[in-house]
């Protein structure tokens, strides 16, 4: 009977009274207080954590934020990318990513091995979808046209859009499950370019980074797209954690930010 009552009490506290300690045990203060006070302290602890860590990281050195519009790139290649992204239904040029890729693609292999995570689901029941009018695999089609002899891979949680074409192979990946990043299709390959255009949240992005640290080729680069200003603290902290030969850069794009992590040669 006591066990049953404890379960009922746990259910009420977690699901009805919404006591945060049941979902955020890591952030429970090691001090006594009323449930209301503890709830308040848990919220403060969560909200202030990355801000405080960023302040500590910045004390030892702060990463500069560059504007993509300041990048010196091949204008012809930049415009070609813009047209190809637009014509294939990709929104990358809307955000200014065509400028960033005009820079990065000229700096890596002539026939790069590419992996894009998040290829644009048009299933509105799937988080971070592109809407019913979206074009799955739009940017992969662009990379395939530019690099017809490269190995190119796309990964997404939406199994319905995983359709191979030309030199592009697809596989299932759930960004919330690090074990799904590796797959028989990529077969322990290393990449010149890894793109995270998936869930657009820090924990998922960091899973991609964990994967990329081991799977970038020397000279290769990870690009994390669609970062909001409110999420930048995470990347200032990450910059302080990364060691040579990895280099993190932050770019201000047209309406958001992008982060790159390069494995220097």
CATH number at residue 72: 3.40.50.150
| 202 and 242, same domain (yes or no) | yes
The torsion defined by the Cα of 200, 216, 253 and 103, in degrees rounded to 10, comes to -160
> Looking at 60, 81, 108, which one is the last position of a domain?
60
Count of domains forming the chain? 2
Q: What's the confidence (pLDDT) of residue 34?
A: 87
* 168 CB-contact burial (10 Å; exposed 0-12 / middle 13-18 / buried 19+): buried
| 148 and 98, same domain (yes or no) | yes
Give the range among 85-94, 128-137, 169-178, 230-239 with minimum mean pLDDT: 128-137
Given a cut of 90, is residue 139 above it in pLDDT? yes
Q: What's the confidence (pLDDT) of residue 18?
A: 54
| 39 and 147, same domain (yes or no) | no
| 175 and 191, same domain (yes or no) | yes
| 120 and 42, same domain (yes or no) | no
| 20 and 98, same domain (yes or no) | no
| 72 and 166, same domain (yes or no) | yes
Share of the chain above pLDDT 90, in %: 77
| 55 and 171, same domain (yes or no) | no
Of residues 192 and 40, the one with the higher pLDDT is 192
| 106 and 12, same domain (yes or no) | no
| 255 and 161, same domain (yes or no) | yes
The pLDDT of 134-158, averaged and rounded, is: 96
* pTM for the full predicted model: 0.90
Q: What's the confidence (pLDDT) of residue 3?
A: 63
Domain span at residue 20 reads 2-60
Q: What's the confidence (pLDDT) of residue 9?
A: 54
Q: What's the confidence (pLDDT) of residue 230?
A: 94
Any idea how long the chain is? 265
Given a cut of 60, is residue 12 above it in pLDDT? no
Kindly give the pairing relationship between strand 152-156 and strand 168-172.
parallel
Q: What's the confidence (pLDDT) of residue 17?
A: 45
| 152 and 237, same domain (yes or no) | yes
Give the range among 5-14, 62-71, 82-91, 186-195 with minimum mean pLDDT: 5-14
For the chain, give me the number of helices (H) and strands (E)?
A: 8, 8
| 144 and 213, same domain (yes or no) | yes
Give the range among 16-25, 31-40, 172-181, 212-221 with minimum mean pLDDT: 16-25
Asked if 264 contacts 245 with a C-beta cutoff of 8 angstroms, the reply is yes
> Looking at 44, 60, 76, which one is the last position of a domain?
60
The set of residues, in sequence order, having a beta carbon less than 8 Å from that of 265 and lying 6+ positions away, is: 218, 219, 245
Tell me the pLDDT of the chain averaged across its residues.
Answer: 91
């Amino acid at each position: 009977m006591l066990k049953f009552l404890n379960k009922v009490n746990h259910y009420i506290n977690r699901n009805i009274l919404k006591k945060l300690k049941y979902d955020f045990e890591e952030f429970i203060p090691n001090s006594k207080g009323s449930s209301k006070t503890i709830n308040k302290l848990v919220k403060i602890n969560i909200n202030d954590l990355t801000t405080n860590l960023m302040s500590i990281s910045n004390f030892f050195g702060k990463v500069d934020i560059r504007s993509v519009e300041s990048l010196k790139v091949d204008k012809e290649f930049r415009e070609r990318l813009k047209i190809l992204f637009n014509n294939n239904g990709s929104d990358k040029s809307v955000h200014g990513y065509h400028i960033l890729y005009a820079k990065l693609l000229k700096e890596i292999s002539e026939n790069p091995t590419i992996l894009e995570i998040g290829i644009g689901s048009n299933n509105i029941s799937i988080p971070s979808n592109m809407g019913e009018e979206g074009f799955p695999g739009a940017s992969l089609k662009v990379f395939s046209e530019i690099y017809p002899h490269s190995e190119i891979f796309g990964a997404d949680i939406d199994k319905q859009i995983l359709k191979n074409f030309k030199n592009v192979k697809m596989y299932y990946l759930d960004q919330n499950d690090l074990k799904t990043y590796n797959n028989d299709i990529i077969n322990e390959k290393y990449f010149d370019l890894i793109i995270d255009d998936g869930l657009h949240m820090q924990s998922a992005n960091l899973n991609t980074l964990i994967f990329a640290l081991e799977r970038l080729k020397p000279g290769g680069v990870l690009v994390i797209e669609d970062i909001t200003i409110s999420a930048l603290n995470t990347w200032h902290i990450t910059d302080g954690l990364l060691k040579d030969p990895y280099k993190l850069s932050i770019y201000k794009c047209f309406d958001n930010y992008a982060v790159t992590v390069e494995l220097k040669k």
